[in-house]
Structure 1
C-alpha cells in the first residue's frame, strides 16, 4: 500500500473531509494551488501508480485526504523541481520505506518578473508571395477568403500560419475538396481553439509568474494534442483496409 509523504499543507477543503472524496472534489481542492491540474492529469498519475484511491463496489474512485496530500506532493515536485515521474516515484518509495530521500534541487522561491521587451515583429508575406508559395491562383484565394478559411491582416499581408493553411487548401483542392466542404473543419478548429484558451485562462491570470510563463507552452501542447487526436479520429473512421 502506498504511504503518503509528509510535507505540503492540505487545503481547508480537504482537511474538513471526514469521508472519501470524489475525483471532482479532489480536483477542486487541488486547483487552489495547482490551477492547471485536470481530471485527466489525476487519472494519469493514478495510472502511473503515484496514487492508489480506493474503489467503491460500483467502480467509483474514493480518495482520502492522504491521497490528496500525496497528489499535492507529486504536483509540487513537478512544478518546483521539474522532476520526471520516475524520479518522483523513487522519492516517494524511499519516503514510504523510511529511507533517506534522494537529493533534489532546492525550489527557486524568488521569482523575478521578466523585463518587458518589445515583441518581435510578426513575419508576414504579401498576396503574390502567398499565391506563389501555395501554387494557387487569384480565383482560388478569393474563394478561400469568401468562405472564411483564411484572410489577410489589416494591412493586407498574411501571417505564416495563413500560408500553411493556403498550402493545405491547395493540396486538398487537387483531390476535389472545395472550400464549401471545409467550412466544418474551420468551425471545429475555432471551437477547439476556444477550448484551449478556456483551459489556459487560469494560468494566464495566476499570480505566480512561473505559472503564467507556462500558459503559452501549455496552449501549444494542447493544440498539438488536438491535431493528433483529429488525425487519429479521421484514421479510425476510415474503413479498414483489406490486407
Structure 2
C-alpha cells in the first residue's frame, strides 16, 4: 500500500474513529463533505487508473485506510481546482511519496467552453461555433439530396436557425465514408440511438455538477463530460472489435 502525502482530505481524512479501514460507502460519505458530486463509480474509476490501492478482504470487498481517503481527496481537489489530467496527478503524488520536493503542476488552461462555467452569472453565454448549410455541403463534398436524406434519419440535426454545430462536419464525413461500403442512413439509426443513450448516461453523471452552486464545480462538469465521452467511445470501439473477432 502506498503512503499518502500529507495535507490531504481535511474533515474527510479520518477513515474511522478507531483508525480501522472502512468500506467504499463510508469513503463516499466522507468525501461528499467536500466533493458532493463524487460517486462510487468515480472512486472505482480512480482505483482502476492506479490513483488509489485499497486493500481487499478475503471475500473481495474494498477496505480504505485514512491514507487512501486523503489521497482520493487530493486527487479530486487537483482535478477540481487545477483541471489536471489523472496522469499528471498520479506522477505528482508518486513523486511526493518518494520524498521529492516537487511543486504542484501549473493549472491546465481551460478551453473556451470550460471557462464558460466560471463566468459571471449575468454574463452573456458565448455561442458555440456554427456553420451554415452551404458551408456544410462544401466541407463534406456531398449534395443537397444526400444531406436531406441524413437529416430525415436524424443523423444530422440543424438548429432552429438553420445552422449546424461544427461536429456535423465530422458526422457527415463519416456517414459518407460508411456509405461507400454500402451502409445507408437507415442502417445507421442504431448507431445514432446508441450514441444518444451514451450521452444520456454521461448527462446523468454530470447533471448534479452542473447544478452545483460552486462555479468551479460547474466548470469541472464539462471536463468530466469530455472524459466520460472519451471513455465511452473507447469502450464502444473495443466492444465492436471484440464482437467482430468472435464472428470472424
| TM-score (norm: length of structure 2) | 0.73
Q: Is the 8 A contact 1:144 1:150 kept in 2?
A: yes
Within 5 A, what are the aligned runs for 1:112-127?
A: 114-115=119-120, 116-117=123-124, 119-120=126-127, 122-126=129-133
Aligned residue in 2 for 1:104:
103
Q: Displacement, 1:220?
A: 2.1
Aligned residue in 2 for 1:42:
43
Distance 1:119 1:159 in 2: 14
Aligned residue in 2 for 1:217:
223
Unaligned runs of 5+ in 1: 95-100
Aligned residue in 2 for 1:97:
none
* From 150, 153, 161, the counterpart of 1:155: 161
Q: 1:106/1:145 Cα in 2 relative to 1: closer, same or farther (>3 Å)?
A: closer
Mean CA deviation greater in 187-196 or 78-87: 78-87
Q: 1:106/1:150 Cα in 2 relative to 1: closer, same or farther (>3 Å)?
A: closer
Aligned residue in 2 for 1:88:
93
1:144 aligns with 2:143: no
Distance 2:215 2:14 in 1: 25
Aligned residue in 2 for 1:166:
172
Q: Deviations over 1:145-171 (max 9, x none)?
A: 222222222122333222322222122
Q: Is the 8 A contact 2:130 2:163 kept in 1?
A: no
Find the structure with the greater CA-based Rg: 1
Distance 1:207 1:102 in 2: 35
| TM-score (norm: length of structure 1) | 0.75
Aligned residue in 2 for 1:76:
77
Distance 2:43 2:35 in 1: 12
Q: Displacement, 1:118?
A: 5.0
Unaligned runs of 5+ in 2: 108-117
Q: How many residues align?
A: 231
